Amino acid sequence: MKLTKNDNTVSWVEFKYQRLGNFCYFCGIPGHLHKHCAAAVKSDIPIELWPYSDELRAGRKKSCGDRCTVVAQ
């Protein structure tokens, strides 16, 4: 995500979501998949060039006992 600071400088921030529900990798709208997206079905853009992917999802958590949780990358 591109952020503009008060002094008008720009910074890029990378983030991922935990427990992200289903969303369309083509249009980004939650609640439907690209298979059911009219815009994605009509598009000639290859999947590799779509603006969203599963990269937005945080890694799966692996339990290491009662004291800690490790997020796998």
- Write out pLDDT tens, residues 1-53: 788 999 999 998 877 777 777 889 999 888 888 899 999 999 999 999 999 88
**pTM of the complete model:** 0.53
Dist. CA 33–CA 26, nearest whole Å: 9
β-strands 61-63, 10-12: how paired? unpaired
Q: For the chain, give every domain's residue range.
A: 2-71
7 φ, ψ (degrees, to nearest 5): -90, 15
